[in-house]
Structure 1
Amino acid sequence: MEGSVPRAVAWGTVSSSFPGSPGSSGSPSDAAPLSLCAREPHVPADRLVAEMVPPPRFDAVRFGTYIPDPNQPSQTEAVRVLEGFAAGLGTAGDSGRRRLFGFGRPAKKTPSGPRGVYLDGGYGVGKTHLLASLWHATPAEPALKAFGTFVELTNLVGALGFQQTVQTLSGHRLLCIDEFELDDPGDTVLVSTLLGKLVEAGVALAATSNTLPGRLGEGRFAAADFLREIQGLSAHFRALRIDGEDYRHRGLPEAPPPYSEDVVAKTAHATEGASLDAFPDLLEHLAKVHPSRYGALTDGIRTVCLTGVRPVPDQSTALRLVVLADRLYDREVPVLASGLPFDQLFSEEMLKGGYRKKYFRAISRLTALARDAGRLAEDR
């Protein structure tokens, strides 16, 4: 697809070492299910950078596929502004490529107008759709524009180091950050500092974040908070308000009832590319794998089957599960489970705490993936 980069870039060396992965001996019909717990992926740094593209769920989105609500003129206005923003990021020779690969220092780019846009709005109004559309519409080759969540960006800094991340991303024309997190002061300062360096290098920025569930209805809280947290960078951002119905006002979606362990196990054995793990074992295994590798952990997995789902025991475990849920959702991997429904994963205390936005998102995404998995279990 035009403007997209396959997420299989440099994956062969990672997935080929997994037991039961494509390329291993045995056919799908006589092989046992795969196991996430058996995987310990080692991801090269260049793969982390190459994967900074819109996830498969947003491969095909464009401004033309975004259908604005006629009752919400801010949605039409956002499309108009973003189309103009993308057009203003036209190619400028090979300076970005030279910087990317370390061949000299390109001439300083001259910013014209705001070098950043912030999409301000609640859940379910299409901010990620518009952010991915901006990435696709920006007239630069894929290697010179990056797209990732706030968590993926902090993971990249953790894997490469701050200076190497600055050097690598400084050659880009555009950096899109989805779900900018405002609940961790340390990470916010880290990313704010990183963005300052990138703005100095002439990189255009675009970001989204979500209003915390407990703060809905407080007007422009998200935009004001975002601009305050990035401090000196606020002048570089134009905030675009995107109004619309917020499904969070209707409460958490009801998760489908879990299946029996027997059905989950039979489905795993009968489904090509399925993994089968006990939920408690998977939670323990996630602690041994850096979150930046959770995408690689799911390479080649077409369905995730889990037995014995139960409430997560602590916040560190819960935050790791959130990252895995995001990677599964990005890759549209169905999740079939026994035990408790996903809307009972997190305690009331967690859902009222500082990370509640992440937990609400994880419940919604795992619930959607559980519905996707339902058809696989219908005949079991």
Structure 2
Amino acid sequence: MSSALQTAYEARIRDGRLRPDDAQAAGLEALIRLEADLAGAPRSPLSRILGRRPEAARGVYLWGPVGRGKSMLMDLFFETVPVERKRRTHFHVFMREVHDLIGAWRSGDAAARRARFGQVRGDDPVPPIADQVARGASLICFDEFQVTDIADAMILGRLFEALFARGVTLAATSNRRPDDLYRDGINRQLFLPFIDLLKSRVEVVSVAGLHDYRLDRLRAAGTWFSPIDPDNRRTFAALWRDMLGTEAAAGESIEVMGRRLDFPDAAGGLVRASFSRLCDAALGPNDYLALAERFHTVFLEDLPRLTPDRREAARRFVTLIDALYEARTRVIVLAEAEPVRLYPAGDGAFEFERTASRLQEMRSADWLADRS
């Protein structure tokens, strides 16, 4: 049987939308194998009669640095794979839905449970949630598989064991290999069985070529746009759309010390937020560290000139940049002025000089290329 995925990939090379990339070959081969497995494993009539659940195919887990084409490969796979019930989503969006379902099961009475889940009995929310997820999709494709939240970490093993038992196949992209998921997380030893389960149910493939396609876009467009005028605003917005590609900015949330930070303009490892949202709000170092851990690229817009009467916001901005700098996060900025002119005089201006220096360094091609 010919591969629709391979045909689509080769067509994009011929028309110039893609270029040959040896580093993507292993990922493409694994997805072609999964495509064939899914197409060639229909459920037998006897299984239907006996009420047996279909077997989950061995999935694929593509991991490697940002910008290597993992999401592009996943997009093509999802578009072409011959599966009727399939879902493509960012991992954090999915887990947010799971936690909402857990809350609905635990708080719902019999009528509410029956209306939402089609069942009412039991104290454990995992089986009814797995049933609902499996009814909606037999193939789930995750982008940006990354575990940073302890609430996610503690439920993943049981949830995915239930999903695999219900015939759900997993395909995923990640910046981290499975063994590095939830690295240094609280009670990580409780998470390790999930890593073993994941590796037993997916083919783990490194997509780690030397060429960073997102970096090409940043080098071509630049990462600092000033002053804030219509032309720079249009360029900033166009770069955001280009970096998103086919993704929709569905929004992301981060849990920090029992609080939830919502970022409505985010997708996977990309987030777009205003200076006011990040620095006028009452945020602190833990919030900025969580932001830097969660996103590999931050689009910061409407950064004003800073004056002594906005010293508190300027102090938060310094803390934000320190966190992003240490995490090697890529930062694209729409600002009123160049870094050295953002806080030219007044109380706090001297301390700001180090931040201006870091901002200049973060614009350099070497610094951008060093982001792993």
Q: TM-score, normalised by structure 1?
A: 0.49
Q: Percent of counterpart pairs with the same letter?
A: 19
Whole-Å separation in 2 of the counterparts to 1:319 and 1:155: 20
Higher strand share: 2
The residue that corresponds to 2:80 in the other structure is: 137
Unpaired runs of 5+ residues, structure 2, are 1-6, 103-124, 182-190, 238-254, 307-316, 336-372
Residue 208 (1) aligns with residue 178 (2):
no
Q: Is the 8 A contact 2:71 2:173 kept in 1?
A: yes
Residue 81 (1) aligns with residue 30 (2):
yes
The residue that corresponds to 1:63 in the other structure is: 9
Whole-Å separation in 1 of the counterparts to 2:304 and 2:130: 44
What are the residue-to-residue correspondences of 1:234-245 with 2, within 5 Å? 234-245=199-210
Q: TM-score, normalised by structure 2?
A: 0.50
The residue that corresponds to 2:284 in the other structure is: 314
Whole-Å separation in 1 of the counterparts to 2:153 and 2:167: 21
Deviation of 1:74 (Å) = 3.9
Whole-Å separation in 1 of the counterparts to 2:75 and 2:170: 13
Residue type of the alignment partner of 1:348: D
Q: Is the 8 A contact 1:166 1:197 kept in 2?
A: yes
Q: Is the 8 A contact 2:141 2:170 kept in 1?
A: yes
SS of alignment partner, residue 117 of structure 1: strand
Deviation of 1:340 (Å) = 7.0
Residue type of the alignment partner of 2:74: L
Residue 188 (1) aligns with residue 188 (2):
no
Structure 1 residues 158 and 111, CA gap change in structure 2 (3 angstroms): closer
Question: Higher relative contact order by CA 8 Å / sep ≥ 6: 1 or 2?
Answer: 1
Whole-Å separation in 2 of the counterparts to 1:339 and 1:135: 42
Task: Report the aligned-residue RMSD.
Answer: 5.1
Structure 1 residues 133 and 105, CA gap change in structure 2 (3 angstroms): farther
Q: Is the 8 A contact 1:119 1:239 kept in 2?
A: yes
Residue among 98, 106, 111 paired with 1:157: 98
Whole-Å separation in 1 of the counterparts to 2:163 and 2:273: 41
Highest Rg: 1 or 2? Answer: 2
- Map Cα deviations across residues 235-269 of structure 1 (whole Å, 9 max, x no partner): 1111112131254998x976313434xx47xx89x
Whole-Å separation in 2 of the counterparts to 1:322 and 1:106: 47
Structure 1 residues 177 and 150, CA gap change in structure 2 (3 angstroms): same
Q: Is the 8 A contact 1:109 1:201 kept in 2?
A: yes
Structure 1 residues 316 and 166, CA gap change in structure 2 (3 angstroms): farther
SS of alignment partner, residue 140 of structure 1: coil
Higher helix share: 2
Q: Is the 8 A contact 2:78 2:88 kept in 1?
A: yes
The residue that corresponds to 2:130 in the other structure is: 166
Structure 1 residues 94 and 129, CA gap change in structure 2 (3 angstroms): farther
Q: Is the 8 A contact 1:135 1:176 kept in 2?
A: yes
Deviation of 1:290 (Å) = 6.8
The residue that corresponds to 2:223 in the other structure is: 255
Deviation of 1:198 (Å) = 0.7
Whole-Å separation in 2 of the counterparts to 1:237 and 1:124: 22
Q: Is the 8 A contact 1:135 1:147 kept in 2?
A: yes
Deviation of 1:124 (Å) = 0.9
Whole-Å separation in 1 of the counterparts to 2:26 and 2:139: 21
Structure 1 residues 348 and 76, CA gap change in structure 2 (3 angstroms): same
Residue among 73, 86, 89 paired with 1:148: 89
The residue that corresponds to 1:47 in the other structure is: none
Residue type of the alignment partner of 1:314: G
Structure 1 residues 316 and 165, CA gap change in structure 2 (3 angstroms): farther
Structure 1 residues 225 and 317, CA gap change in structure 2 (3 angstroms): closer
Q: Is the 8 A contact 1:170 1:203 kept in 2?
A: yes
SS of alignment partner, residue 62 of structure 2: strand
The residue that corresponds to 1:120 in the other structure is: 63
Whole-Å separation in 2 of the counterparts to 1:121 and 1:305: 26
Q: Is the 8 A contact 1:177 1:206 kept in 2?
A: yes
